[in-house]
Amino acid sequence: MGDFNYPEIKWVDNEVSSGINTDPFKFYECMQNNFLFQHICTPTRFRTGQNANLLDLVFTNEENMIAKDSIQMDSPVGKSDHCMITFDFCCYLNNENTSGDRFSYFRGNYELFNETLNDIDWDVLLNNKSINEMWKCFSSVMSDNIDRFIPKKKTDRKFISPPLWMDRATKSAIVKKRKSWKKYKYSRNNLSYVKYVKDRNECTNAVKNAKLSFEQKVALESKTNVKSFWNYVNSKLKTRSGIGTLEKPDGTLASSTADKVEVLNQFFTSVFTQTEDLKDYDTNSVSNNFLNDINICQEDVLKKLNKLKTDKSAGPDGLHPKVLYEVRHAICYPLFLIFNKSIKRVKFQTIGKMP
Protein backbone atom coordinates (compact mmCIF):
# COMPACT_ATOMS: atom_id res chain seq x y z
CA MET A 1 0.00 0.00 0.00
CA GLY A 2 1.37 3.42 -0.91
CA ASP A 3 1.99 6.10 -3.54
CA PHE A 4 3.64 4.25 -6.46
CA ASN A 5 3.37 7.22 -8.89
CA TYR A 6 2.61 5.21 -12.04
CA PRO A 7 -0.21 7.09 -13.82
CA GLU A 8 0.63 5.19 -17.05
CA ILE A 9 -0.97 2.03 -15.63
CA LYS A 10 -4.71 1.75 -16.31
CA TRP A 11 -5.74 -0.69 -13.58
CA VAL A 12 -9.40 -0.87 -14.60
CA ASP A 13 -8.53 -1.83 -18.21
CA ASN A 14 -5.37 -3.78 -17.28
CA GLU A 15 -3.29 -1.73 -19.72
CA VAL A 16 0.01 0.18 -19.62
CA SER A 17 0.33 3.20 -21.93
CA SER A 18 4.15 3.28 -21.81
CA GLY A 19 6.60 0.95 -23.56
CA ILE A 20 7.61 -2.58 -22.56
CA ASN A 21 11.02 -1.50 -21.22
CA THR A 22 9.64 1.25 -18.96
CA ASP A 23 9.37 1.09 -15.18
CA PRO A 24 5.54 1.21 -15.14
CA PHE A 25 5.31 -1.84 -17.43
CA LYS A 26 7.92 -3.77 -15.41
CA PHE A 27 6.09 -2.92 -12.19
CA TYR A 28 2.74 -4.05 -13.63
CA GLU A 29 4.27 -7.28 -14.92
CA CYS A 30 5.88 -7.95 -11.52
CA MET A 31 2.51 -7.59 -9.76
CA GLN A 32 0.91 -9.97 -12.27
CA ASN A 33 3.68 -12.57 -11.91
CA ASN A 34 3.30 -12.54 -8.13
CA PHE A 35 -0.51 -12.94 -8.36
CA LEU A 36 -1.24 -9.77 -6.40
CA PHE A 37 -4.61 -8.04 -6.52
CA GLN A 38 -4.87 -4.24 -6.82
CA HIS A 39 -8.06 -2.84 -5.27
CA ILE A 40 -8.11 0.93 -6.04
CA CYS A 41 -9.94 1.80 -9.26
CA THR A 42 -10.65 5.55 -8.98
CA PRO A 43 -8.29 8.57 -9.07
CA THR A 44 -6.50 9.31 -5.80
CA ARG A 45 -4.68 12.57 -6.61
CA PHE A 46 -6.37 15.84 -7.50
CA ARG A 47 -4.61 19.12 -8.30
CA THR A 48 -6.03 22.26 -9.86
CA GLY A 49 -5.12 22.53 -13.54
CA GLN A 50 -4.08 18.86 -13.85
CA ASN A 51 -5.86 15.62 -14.67
CA ALA A 52 -6.87 13.41 -11.76
CA ASN A 53 -4.59 10.35 -11.53
CA LEU A 54 -4.64 6.96 -9.86
CA LEU A 55 -1.29 6.90 -8.04
CA ASP A 56 -2.02 5.35 -4.62
CA LEU A 57 -2.44 1.58 -4.74
CA VAL A 58 -3.43 -1.20 -2.33
CA PHE A 59 -2.25 -4.77 -3.02
CA THR A 60 -3.22 -8.07 -1.37
CA ASN A 61 -2.47 -11.70 -2.17
CA GLU A 62 -6.18 -12.61 -1.94
CA GLU A 63 -8.97 -10.89 -3.84
CA ASN A 64 -11.51 -10.90 -1.00
CA MET A 65 -9.22 -9.52 1.70
CA ILE A 66 -10.66 -6.03 1.07
CA ALA A 67 -14.40 -5.50 0.73
CA LYS A 68 -15.01 -3.52 -2.48
CA ASP A 69 -17.94 -1.57 -1.07
CA SER A 70 -15.82 -0.47 1.91
CA ILE A 71 -13.24 1.47 -0.16
CA GLN A 72 -13.76 5.22 0.20
CA MET A 73 -11.83 8.24 -1.05
CA ASP A 74 -11.86 10.86 1.68
CA SER A 75 -10.39 14.34 1.92
CA PRO A 76 -6.55 14.55 2.06
CA VAL A 77 -4.60 14.77 5.30
CA GLY A 78 -3.09 18.20 5.92
CA LYS A 79 -1.87 19.98 2.77
CA SER A 80 -1.48 16.83 0.69
CA ASP A 81 -3.29 16.56 -2.66
CA HIS A 82 -3.65 12.77 -2.35
CA CYS A 83 -6.95 11.34 -1.12
CA MET A 84 -7.08 9.53 2.19
CA ILE A 85 -8.10 5.95 1.40
CA THR A 86 -10.16 4.00 3.93
CA PHE A 87 -11.23 0.37 3.60
CA ASP A 88 -12.13 -2.72 5.61
CA PHE A 89 -9.32 -5.26 5.72
CA CYS A 90 -10.59 -8.83 6.15
CA CYS A 91 -7.96 -10.87 7.95
CA TYR A 92 -8.00 -14.10 9.89
CA LEU A 93 -8.66 -13.06 13.46
CA ASN A 94 -10.30 -15.01 16.25
CA ASN A 95 -11.92 -12.16 18.14
CA GLU A 96 -13.62 -12.78 21.46
CA ASN A 97 -17.15 -11.46 21.61
CA THR A 98 -17.33 -8.97 24.48
CA SER A 99 -20.68 -7.55 23.41
CA GLY A 100 -23.33 -7.40 26.09
CA ASP A 101 -24.49 -5.37 29.06
CA ARG A 102 -22.11 -3.79 31.56
CA PHE A 103 -22.84 -1.93 34.76
CA SER A 104 -22.37 1.85 34.82
CA TYR A 105 -21.10 1.99 38.40
CA PHE A 106 -20.59 5.75 38.38
CA ARG A 107 -24.25 6.38 37.54
CA GLY A 108 -25.80 4.23 40.27
CA ASN A 109 -28.59 5.30 42.62
CA TYR A 110 -26.55 4.88 45.79
CA GLU A 111 -29.02 6.76 47.97
CA LEU A 112 -31.67 4.03 47.55
CA PHE A 113 -28.92 1.40 47.64
CA ASN A 114 -27.88 2.58 51.12
CA GLU A 115 -31.46 2.82 52.35
CA THR A 116 -32.14 -0.79 51.33
CA LEU A 117 -28.99 -2.09 53.05
CA ASN A 118 -29.74 -0.13 56.23
CA ASP A 119 -33.16 -1.81 56.49
CA ILE A 120 -31.56 -5.28 56.67
CA ASP A 121 -31.16 -6.94 60.08
CA TRP A 122 -27.71 -8.43 59.54
CA ASP A 123 -27.64 -10.16 62.94
CA VAL A 124 -30.66 -12.24 61.97
CA LEU A 125 -29.60 -12.77 58.37
CA LEU A 126 -26.09 -14.01 59.22
CA ASN A 127 -26.95 -15.90 62.41
CA ASN A 128 -25.94 -19.58 62.74
CA LYS A 129 -24.10 -19.65 59.42
CA SER A 130 -20.63 -20.81 58.48
CA ILE A 131 -18.05 -18.39 57.10
CA ASN A 132 -18.77 -19.41 53.52
CA GLU A 133 -22.52 -19.20 54.09
CA MET A 134 -22.19 -15.72 55.63
CA TRP A 135 -20.12 -14.48 52.72
CA LYS A 136 -22.44 -16.09 50.18
CA CYS A 137 -25.43 -14.43 51.83
CA PHE A 138 -23.69 -11.03 51.89
CA SER A 139 -22.62 -11.36 48.24
CA SER A 140 -26.13 -12.36 47.22
CA VAL A 141 -27.61 -9.26 48.88
CA MET A 142 -25.04 -7.04 47.18
CA SER A 143 -25.57 -8.63 43.76
CA ASP A 144 -29.36 -8.31 43.97
CA ASN A 145 -29.13 -4.63 44.88
CA ILE A 146 -26.51 -3.94 42.21
CA ASP A 147 -29.00 -5.26 39.66
CA ARG A 148 -31.68 -2.98 41.11
CA PHE A 149 -29.81 0.29 41.55
CA ILE A 150 -26.92 0.24 39.06
CA PRO A 151 -27.91 0.93 35.42
CA LYS A 152 -26.48 -1.07 32.56
CA LYS A 153 -25.09 0.01 29.22
CA LYS A 154 -24.77 -2.03 26.05
CA THR A 155 -21.30 -2.63 24.66
CA ASP A 156 -20.52 -3.66 21.10
CA ARG A 157 -17.08 -4.57 19.74
CA LYS A 158 -18.21 -3.45 16.27
CA PHE A 159 -18.44 0.13 17.50
CA ILE A 160 -15.18 2.02 16.94
CA SER A 161 -14.60 4.62 19.62
CA PRO A 162 -13.33 8.02 18.50
CA PRO A 163 -9.87 9.19 19.66
CA LEU A 164 -9.73 10.21 23.32
CA TRP A 165 -8.77 13.77 22.37
CA MET A 166 -11.72 14.23 20.01
CA ASP A 167 -14.18 16.90 21.15
CA ARG A 168 -17.32 18.30 19.53
CA ALA A 169 -15.62 21.34 17.97
CA THR A 170 -12.86 19.23 16.40
CA LYS A 171 -15.37 16.74 15.04
CA SER A 172 -17.36 19.59 13.45
CA ALA A 173 -14.18 20.93 11.81
CA ILE A 174 -13.41 17.49 10.35
CA VAL A 175 -16.95 17.11 8.98
CA LYS A 176 -16.77 20.60 7.46
CA LYS A 177 -13.45 19.80 5.77
CA ARG A 178 -14.83 16.56 4.29
CA LYS A 179 -17.88 18.35 2.87
CA SER A 180 -15.66 20.98 1.24
CA TRP A 181 -13.48 18.26 -0.26
CA LYS A 182 -16.45 16.47 -1.80
CA LYS A 183 -17.68 19.73 -3.36
CA TYR A 184 -14.26 20.42 -4.86
CA LYS A 185 -13.88 16.83 -6.04
CA TYR A 186 -17.03 17.06 -8.15
CA SER A 187 -16.89 20.73 -9.23
CA ARG A 188 -13.09 21.02 -9.77
CA ASN A 189 -13.30 24.84 -9.86
CA ASN A 190 -10.95 27.30 -8.18
CA LEU A 191 -13.59 28.78 -5.86
CA SER A 192 -14.42 25.43 -4.26
CA TYR A 193 -10.70 24.67 -3.93
CA VAL A 194 -10.06 27.92 -2.03
CA LYS A 195 -12.98 27.07 0.28
CA TYR A 196 -11.55 23.58 0.83
CA VAL A 197 -8.06 24.94 1.66
CA LYS A 198 -9.58 27.30 4.24
CA ASP A 199 -11.57 24.51 5.92
CA ARG A 200 -8.57 22.16 5.72
CA ASN A 201 -6.31 24.60 7.56
CA GLU A 202 -8.95 25.21 10.23
CA CYS A 203 -9.35 21.45 10.69
CA THR A 204 -5.59 20.92 11.00
CA ASN A 205 -5.33 23.60 13.69
CA ALA A 206 -8.37 22.21 15.54
CA VAL A 207 -6.88 18.70 15.64
CA LYS A 208 -3.48 19.97 16.84
CA ASN A 209 -5.06 22.10 19.58
CA ALA A 210 -7.38 19.30 20.71
CA LYS A 211 -4.50 16.83 21.00
CA LEU A 212 -2.31 19.32 22.84
CA SER A 213 -5.08 20.32 25.25
CA PHE A 214 -5.98 16.70 26.01
CA GLU A 215 -2.37 15.60 26.56
CA GLN A 216 -1.74 18.54 28.90
CA LYS A 217 -4.85 17.62 30.88
CA VAL A 218 -3.78 13.97 31.13
CA ALA A 219 -0.29 15.01 32.27
CA LEU A 220 -1.62 17.38 34.95
CA GLU A 221 -4.06 14.77 36.30
CA SER A 222 -1.71 11.78 35.98
CA LYS A 223 -1.30 11.42 39.75
CA THR A 224 -4.95 11.86 40.69
CA ASN A 225 -6.51 10.18 37.63
CA VAL A 226 -4.21 7.25 36.89
CA LYS A 227 -6.85 5.37 34.91
CA SER A 228 -7.19 8.18 32.36
CA PHE A 229 -3.41 8.28 31.96
CA TRP A 230 -3.11 4.55 31.24
CA ASN A 231 -6.14 4.62 28.92
CA TYR A 232 -4.28 7.17 26.81
CA VAL A 233 -1.03 5.18 26.95
CA ASN A 234 -2.82 1.98 25.89
CA SER A 235 -4.55 3.81 23.04
CA LYS A 236 -1.09 4.46 21.56
CA LEU A 237 -0.09 0.79 21.60
CA LYS A 238 -0.16 -1.08 18.31
CA THR A 239 -0.53 -4.52 19.88
CA ARG A 240 -2.61 -6.01 22.67
CA SER A 241 -1.46 -8.81 24.93
CA GLY A 242 -3.90 -11.52 25.89
CA ILE A 243 -4.55 -15.25 26.12
CA GLY A 244 -6.45 -16.82 23.26
CA THR A 245 -8.85 -19.74 23.39
CA LEU A 246 -7.25 -22.84 24.94
CA GLU A 247 -8.01 -26.51 24.36
CA LYS A 248 -9.05 -28.58 27.37
CA PRO A 249 -7.82 -32.17 27.91
CA ASP A 250 -11.24 -33.46 26.74
CA GLY A 251 -10.93 -31.59 23.44
CA THR A 252 -13.39 -28.79 24.21
CA LEU A 253 -12.37 -25.14 24.10
CA ALA A 254 -11.88 -22.84 27.10
CA SER A 255 -12.99 -19.33 26.18
CA SER A 256 -13.95 -17.75 29.52
CA THR A 257 -11.34 -16.35 31.89
CA ALA A 258 -12.14 -18.89 34.63
CA ASP A 259 -11.83 -21.83 32.20
CA LYS A 260 -8.48 -20.53 30.90
CA VAL A 261 -7.17 -20.21 34.46
CA GLU A 262 -8.20 -23.80 35.20
CA VAL A 263 -6.56 -25.17 32.03
CA LEU A 264 -3.28 -23.34 32.71
CA ASN A 265 -3.38 -24.39 36.37
CA GLN A 266 -3.75 -28.06 35.40
CA PHE A 267 -0.92 -27.79 32.88
CA PHE A 268 1.53 -26.16 35.29
CA THR A 269 0.62 -28.73 37.94
CA SER A 270 1.36 -31.58 35.51
CA VAL A 271 4.86 -30.29 34.68
CA PHE A 272 5.73 -29.22 38.22
CA THR A 273 8.74 -31.04 39.65
CA GLN A 274 8.07 -32.41 43.12
CA THR A 275 11.05 -32.57 45.47
CA GLU A 276 11.26 -35.81 47.43
CA ASP A 277 14.06 -34.94 49.87
CA LEU A 278 12.28 -32.22 51.85
CA LYS A 279 12.33 -32.81 55.59
CA ASP A 280 9.08 -33.04 57.50
CA TYR A 281 8.20 -29.93 59.43
CA ASP A 282 8.65 -30.32 63.19
CA THR A 283 5.29 -29.39 64.66
CA ASN A 284 6.63 -29.73 68.21
CA SER A 285 8.74 -26.60 67.78
CA VAL A 286 5.71 -24.38 67.26
CA SER A 287 5.30 -21.73 69.93
CA ASN A 288 2.26 -21.94 72.18
CA ASN A 289 2.03 -18.16 72.53
CA PHE A 290 -1.00 -17.39 70.39
CA LEU A 291 -2.70 -14.06 69.83
CA ASN A 292 -6.09 -14.93 71.23
CA ASP A 293 -7.46 -11.43 71.69
CA ILE A 294 -7.55 -10.17 68.09
CA ASN A 295 -10.66 -8.08 67.59
CA ILE A 296 -11.75 -6.12 64.56
CA CYS A 297 -14.14 -3.25 65.17
CA GLN A 298 -16.47 -1.50 62.74
CA GLU A 299 -14.19 1.53 62.65
CA ASP A 300 -11.33 -0.66 61.37
CA VAL A 301 -13.50 -1.97 58.55
CA LEU A 302 -14.73 1.53 57.70
CA LYS A 303 -11.16 2.87 57.55
CA LYS A 304 -10.26 0.23 54.97
CA LEU A 305 -13.39 0.93 52.93
CA ASN A 306 -12.61 4.66 52.98
CA LYS A 307 -9.27 3.95 51.31
CA LEU A 308 -10.74 2.03 48.36
CA LYS A 309 -9.73 3.35 44.93
CA THR A 310 -12.94 3.64 42.97
CA ASP A 311 -11.20 3.78 39.58
CA LYS A 312 -9.93 0.19 39.91
CA SER A 313 -11.62 -2.93 38.53
CA ALA A 314 -13.59 -5.47 40.54
CA GLY A 315 -11.78 -8.42 42.11
CA PRO A 316 -12.59 -12.16 41.82
CA ASP A 317 -15.70 -11.65 43.98
CA GLY A 318 -17.18 -9.35 41.32
CA LEU A 319 -17.86 -6.48 43.74
CA HIS A 320 -16.69 -3.21 42.22
CA PRO A 321 -14.75 -0.86 44.56
CA LYS A 322 -17.00 2.04 43.52
CA VAL A 323 -20.03 0.17 44.92
CA LEU A 324 -18.25 -0.83 48.14
CA TYR A 325 -17.08 2.74 48.69
CA GLU A 326 -20.48 4.34 48.14
CA VAL A 327 -22.26 1.95 50.55
CA ARG A 328 -19.36 1.63 53.00
CA HIS A 329 -21.34 2.91 56.00
CA ALA A 330 -24.10 0.36 55.36
CA ILE A 331 -21.84 -2.68 54.86
CA CYS A 332 -19.15 -2.11 57.48
CA TYR A 333 -21.27 -3.93 60.12
CA PRO A 334 -21.91 -7.20 58.18
CA LEU A 335 -18.26 -7.27 57.12
CA PHE A 336 -17.29 -6.72 60.75
CA LEU A 337 -19.36 -9.79 61.71
CA ILE A 338 -17.82 -11.93 58.95
CA PHE A 339 -14.21 -10.94 59.70
CA ASN A 340 -14.49 -11.50 63.45
CA LYS A 341 -16.11 -14.89 63.07
CA SER A 342 -13.43 -15.83 60.55
CA ILE A 343 -10.68 -15.00 63.07
CA LYS A 344 -12.35 -16.79 65.96
CA ARG A 345 -13.03 -19.95 63.94
CA VAL A 346 -9.60 -19.74 62.25
CA LYS A 347 -11.33 -20.24 58.91
CA PHE A 348 -11.50 -18.10 55.82
CA GLN A 349 -14.16 -17.89 53.15
CA THR A 350 -13.29 -19.67 49.91
CA ILE A 351 -16.15 -18.33 47.78
CA GLY A 352 -15.08 -15.60 45.39
CA LYS A 353 -11.44 -16.70 45.19
CA MET A 354 -9.69 -17.55 41.95
CA PRO A 355 -9.37 -21.31 41.27
pLDDT at 68: 80
Distances (CA, A) of 275 to 128, 202, 265, 279, 355: 43, 71, 19, 10, 24
pLDDT at 289: 60
Q: Quick one: CA torsion of 162, 85, 178, 78, rounded to 10 degrees? A: 90
Strand 9-10, strand 15-16: pairing? antiparallel
Kindly give the parts of the chain with pLDDT less than 50. 94, 352, 354-355
pLDDT at 122: 95
